[in-house]
Amino acid sequence: MDIGAVLSRAWKTVWKHKVLWIFGILASCGARSGGGSGGSGNSISTDSGQPFTPPPELQRFFTDLERSFRSVSEEQIVILAILIIGAFCLIGIISWLVGLYGKTGVTVGALRAEAGHEVSFRAIWRDSWGVFDRVVGLNILLAAPVFILALVVGIGAVFFAALTMGIGMLCLIPLLCLIIPLSLIYTVFTDMANIAVVKDGLGITAAVQRGWDVLSKNVGSIALLALILILGGLIISLILAIPFFLALVPVLLGAAQGNVGQNLTLSLICLVAVVPVTFVLGGILHSYLQTAWTLAYADLTAKR
């Protein structure tokens, strides 16, 4: 496999057929994760030494919120917690399915482009939907043992840490270091199996066998391509995250001067401007990465 040629063809394909960007954006929905943190208090000390007091409206909001929580019964809190957890699980499942469909669409589009067929949204959507049930079944099959193993290892680690007063966790550091390369190998294997479903029209079991066959017989070239794509994708992702941090600079400067809300509007405007641009660029990145893997699989299996 000519890795340079694969990378070059992937970019030409993605740039020529910009409809792949749409499916790349969908793919990014299942690839991203986020989190947040918060806190509250009556006074915040600034660099100038002056205490920061929240505006009266904000103080009343937190006071009313605290009063509302105190009036809720324990049964209602449990029900609310279950609903919130259920909502997060539902959002996670939907995001996973959307991301999986996006990756399938990019694979379909890249293969259609390689074959000289029409690369349109309608054609990609139709072909992707035709194999999506097998793609979902394949990913559930591959994810189940990993989930069970992670659950068993996690519970075992907790008990081991409790029995050894936390000192035994040091023994698990080599295991944690081993998890990273193993997870990368498993990710590449999953991609190969998914592409096998789309390109070769295989069933779930046959796709698993084909994915492992391609990976095991081309370890060197696939490892080099994975290193390039993973490191390159990581670097670009970090670059795409920079605008988000820059958008927070105004509000941080305001906080340093003792007034958090001083530049809050400016930061929000910057975020609103940054989010769609970053979202599109992230979609282009995901469409390129998936196209590269698809073309690599096509080249490797063409020699069979």
- Chain segment 67-93, per-residue pLDDT in tens: 666 666 677 777 888 889 999 999 989
Highest mean pLDDT among 35-49, 51-65, 281-295 belongs to 281-295
Confidence (pLDDT) at 107: 94
Q: Quote the radius of gyration of the chain (alpha carbons, Å).
A: 24
81, part of any domain: yes
Burial of 162 (0-12, 13-18, 19+ CB in 10 A): exposed
pLDDT of residue 48: 43
| E strand residue ranges, the chain | 44-45, 51-52
113-167 residue pLDDT tens: 998 898 899 999 999 998 999 999 999 999 888 888 888 877 877 776 677 666 6
**What band does 29 get if pLDDT is binned at 50, 70 and 90?**
confident
- Residue 220 falls within a domain, yes or no? yes
Please check the confidence at residue 33 and state whether its pLDDT lies above 70. no
The answer to whether residue 148 sits within a structural domain is yes
- pLDDT reported for residue 153: 75
Question: For the chain, how many helices (H) and strands (E)?
Answer: 10, 2
> What φ, ψ does residue 256 adopt, rounded to 5°?
-65, -25
Phi-psi map region of 34: left, alpha, beta (phi>0 left; psi -120 to 50 alpha) = beta
Q: Is residue 45 part of a domain?
A: no
Q: Which residue has the tokens 């944690």?
A: 176
Q: Is residue 187 part of a domain?
A: yes
**Continuous H helices in 38-118:** 56-70, 74-114
For residue 251, the enclosing domain spans 3-27+52-302
Of the chain, the percentage scoring pLDDT greater than 70 comes to 77
Residue 37 has pLDDT above 60, yes or no: no
Q: Determine the pLDDT at residue 274.
A: 83
Position 161 in a domain: yes
Asked whether residue 147 is assigned to any structural domain, the reply reads yes
Is residue 193 domain-resident?
A: yes
Q: What is the pLDDT of residue 132?
A: 92
User: Taking all residues of the chain, what is their mean pLDDT, rounded to a whole number?
Assistant: 80
Distance from C-alpha of 24 to C-alpha of 50, rounded to nearest angstrom: 48
CB under 8 A, 24+ apart: contacts of 226-234: 226/184, 226/188, 228/3, 228/7, 229/289, 229/292, 229/293, 230/184, 233/285, 233/289
Q: Check: pTM over 0.85? Answer yes or no.
A: no
Strand partners, 154: none
pLDDT value of residue 71: 67
- Work out the average pLDDT over 212-216: 91
When divided into structural domains, the chain yields a total of 1
